[in-house]
Structure 1
């Protein structure tokens, strides 16, 4: 991306990095073993950022070079990310391998990212340096610890044309590299801060992975830009002990966080009411809920669990966003309860109004557009539709990214004339955005559109655990609705068949009992439906007749 006159200034001229020169009194804490926390006051963290920046420049990194960062949540990631920006290079975060993940498959994933990003360096920690060398291509591989061993010297370069090369989660195919300029990232961070009325006195706690847009921008860059206190856990620590995360709010004073619906469900499933004794959530201002369709039952169950200890129902803020719009697009208003509209999944015509009636189920509204963001609903030709009509969600404003790196195939989101056609379907009503699902994960049946998310919601309402099933919709030689049932109980196939058969009349139903781990998910919990559908087609030679 060519550098503009606006970018021709020191990296520390951005609010995203100004804290490095003027660190405040706040503290960033990383969850350690047991109940301990590794504390990094902002001055200490700023010194680490400067050392990494100096080390990168000494290693030959120059302005606008890309640096792939493979680090778990910890001071190494934070210093590596901000140090890359300070050096005038472009950070490209990549998730480290998950516990138990096949290393060979993971390295192929990294090989794809490296081939796309063409970085100058791959920066990593622990024992990953040697395994990564064969897939790093022409890029060098350096350990974060070696960069941190350098001198604490100012090494600010002129800022890069991009603030971030963000790889998507891969829910609709292979991860794609989104080019996020400084202006878009600065604008989105400021808009999130205004939305949440966020300042230095508003601590944040998060367990989200830092390589993902919600965890990175919402729960790291935004709090650090405000120099607020911050508690960071890894996803594995949250899964193992969600009560430790809750204590950040009930004991330590955190007020802000974000998570997908999965996180709400996990807290409700794992935390017993008696374990909350002595915790006070009255100051918990915001729980942003996004990344997948927001479940009204999950919102209500989470609130009911914590309400006896002071959590205000209005603190739950459904939201909508995507990496191609930097992060946040819409969000529920502070001090207002979340809203729902009733929609019949069997009566959703594109271009028309979603049907109600006795079969309708509640759909959670994702709030109004943030400051400086515009949202329209458009038809197939890109023409705007009136409120209440179903179409594709289009996003505009300074938060829209600068497109993809390269020309990735099979993308559902498209950048057109300064706007983003998201590939998601929804409608506007009373100023709120209601998101129905991915257009690529839907079927047109007899003049209506059926979304995989609606079928999954119906299965959950029928008693099938949400994390043990997913729905794939597609076309072979006719419309097909496939249900994958992980470690299914004896009657699940019958119950799933009844639900899915009712909703997908006119499509062929395939119900598959599969082992645990078959359902592929992104780091935010979204099913990778298109990838699984294509694998099914590949295995069965395009036929829909396999059982």
Structure 2
């Protein structure tokens, strides 16, 4: 029985050494230059990296992984697992004048993790050399260029004696409502969640064979749990082949995603909701021509609110290319549960629950609560009252709590937060549960996610979910950019809490700002019976988001209160 993903990698390398594990599209273009790695080659590079780490006496330590998009990250990550080193994926600095925010975050994560070594490619290590005096630690941090590790070193690798309870890596949360925390994911957690992903998405040996082992196409960042544990690690778990390319290449030209799906015909590919919106936005009338999406069986959608309107439009737009509506697969997960908690099933259309069908909060005319599927095998999902800890019946909104072997050990060096988040109880239920901080309800065993517990807006005694207000606003006027709206509450003194909505629009709309805000106010009043305290239109790129694309409402609220928002109607400095 496999003790880790590394055992499975070595098994696949022995069974089908020449099979391609990953291909990477260097430019993001399907007809451009491609770099590939076979299972045999990946296993050799994994052993070589692990041997170098063992040679340096680093077993049991933490290693920060800083790589640009490409294949080198994968052998470095697996090399850490094979050496018994705790991997800490991070965002690499770029250039001698590295982005201040990225550099600050990198230093903060290194210090929090107590990283004693950094693994990177030549470019990243060169940049780090120029920043050495700014890195945490009294004597700096060891820097290893994994490209320069000789293949021959693979012969020196030794089993590190890891077990299911050994911490495999630290997944730092994206921090949508709080400072990032390092989630301790064990080898057992990883194997269990890969089992869940495989079962829920239907990645059986027969399915892989029917797709010529083509499993994923993904541009998702590998330093984030969705991109790492989904496309990258499920490939190693199943022994399939996956096609990867850079997130930047997708953002620069969104059709590259669908071109890659069309060319390589994977079983599974997906992204957060905003990516589907981008694909739609950049889809001219003739775009479906030349695409063949008929082989796409699972189009997963998660990491942020799944919009019913997005699902409908995507299915309708790409139906001429053979896309099937039943491929749309909403899912729900979080780093604290390793990744996947619930998912729809391949071949089953998503459940869209309108307010008049029993949805407890949908208010806009076209809004619907989107089902995120059922829990994976061995995963328990309970909706509880966050105050009384009572389990709630079907249809009632409460806090989503999760139990099972995929739930991570806790937060790194944070016993208090671990106890509060990972050791929660539910009345009438045995065992401890993970407090997700997310709100939702169950209906016939399916989970519907409605928002964040801390983001709830209470005005005049009525609860309003920011996702609903944001969706209504975006549907009210085409000038509002999809997925770029933030609703939050502010203290209005004697009047109590009041709602504020901040929305990104193009600077070209500055002359129409008053008209746009009037339309938005009217739509929110009609749909939700809510008088909005303020509607602020800001320039594109103003609203802060996490690395996974989630709106950071608290950060936006702070910027609103301190007057630092870049308003669309503000005069341009000249």
Partner of 1:298: 310
Cα distance in 2 for residues equivalent to 1:506 and 1:239: 35
Correspondence 1:208 to 2:220: yes
CA contact (8 A) 1:322 1:328 kept: yes
CA contact (8 A) 2:3 2:187 kept: no
Cα distance in 2 for residues equivalent to 1:57 and 1:204: 32
Relative to structure 1, the CA distance from residue 425 to residue 475 in structure 2 (aligned partners, 3 Å threshold; closer, same or farther) is farther
Aligned residue among 379, 382, 396 for 1:376: 382
Partner of 1:30: 24
CA contact (8 A) 2:65 2:73 kept: yes
Structure 1 spans left out of the alignment, 5+ residues? 1-5, 541-547
CA shift digits 1:384-437 (9 cap, x unpaired)? 001111111111111111111123999998112531111111111122111100
CA shift digits 1:297-342 (9 cap, x unpaired)? 1111111122122222111101111111110011112221111112
CA contact (8 A) 2:10 2:43 kept: no
Cα distance in 2 for residues equivalent to 1:458 and 1:229: 40
Aligned residue among 435, 445, 465 for 2:459: 445
1:279 to partner: Cα distance: 2.9
Cα distance in 2 for residues equivalent to 1:298 and 1:120: 44
Aligned residue among 236, 239, 249 for 1:227: 239
Aligned residue among 512, 518, 538 for 1:494: 518
Give the CA RMSD over aligned residues.
3.0
Relative to structure 1, the CA distance from residue 370 to residue 539 in structure 2 (aligned partners, 3 Å threshold; closer, same or farther) is same
Relative to structure 1, the CA distance from residue 520 to residue 209 in structure 2 (aligned partners, 3 Å threshold; closer, same or farther) is same
Partner of 1:145: 147
Q: Alignment partner of 2:287: what SS?
A: helix
Aligned residue among 533, 537, 545 for 1:509: 533
Alignment of 1:354-433 (within 5 A): 354=360, 361-379=367-385, 380-407=387-414, 414-417=421-424, 418-433=432-447
Partner of 2:171: 166
Range with greater deviation from structure 2 (517-526 or 441-450): 441-450
Partner of 2:429: none
Relative to structure 1, the CA distance from residue 14 to residue 480 in structure 2 (aligned partners, 3 Å threshold; closer, same or farther) is farther
Partner of 2:101: 105
Structure 2 spans left out of the alignment, 5+ residues? 425-431, 565-574
Partner of 1:480: 498
**How many matched pairs?**
526
CA contact (8 A) 1:261 1:294 kept: yes
CA shift digits 1:191-240 (9 cap, x unpaired)? 11112221342421101000111100011000122121110011111122
Cα distance in 2 for residues equivalent to 1:453 and 1:364: 12
CA contact (8 A) 2:362 2:468 kept: no
CA contact (8 A) 1:123 1:142 kept: yes
1:257 to partner: Cα distance: 1.4
Partner of 1:321: 333
Partner of 2:65: 69
Relative to structure 1, the CA distance from residue 536 to residue 405 in structure 2 (aligned partners, 3 Å threshold; closer, same or farther) is farther
Aligned residue among 15, 19, 24 for 2:8: 15
Relative to structure 1, the CA distance from residue 154 to residue 310 in structure 2 (aligned partners, 3 Å threshold; closer, same or farther) is farther
1:258 to partner: Cα distance: 2.2
TM-score, normalising length: structure 1: 0.88
Cα distance in 1 for residues equivalent to 2:517 and 2:289: 41
CA contact (8 A) 1:290 1:319 kept: yes
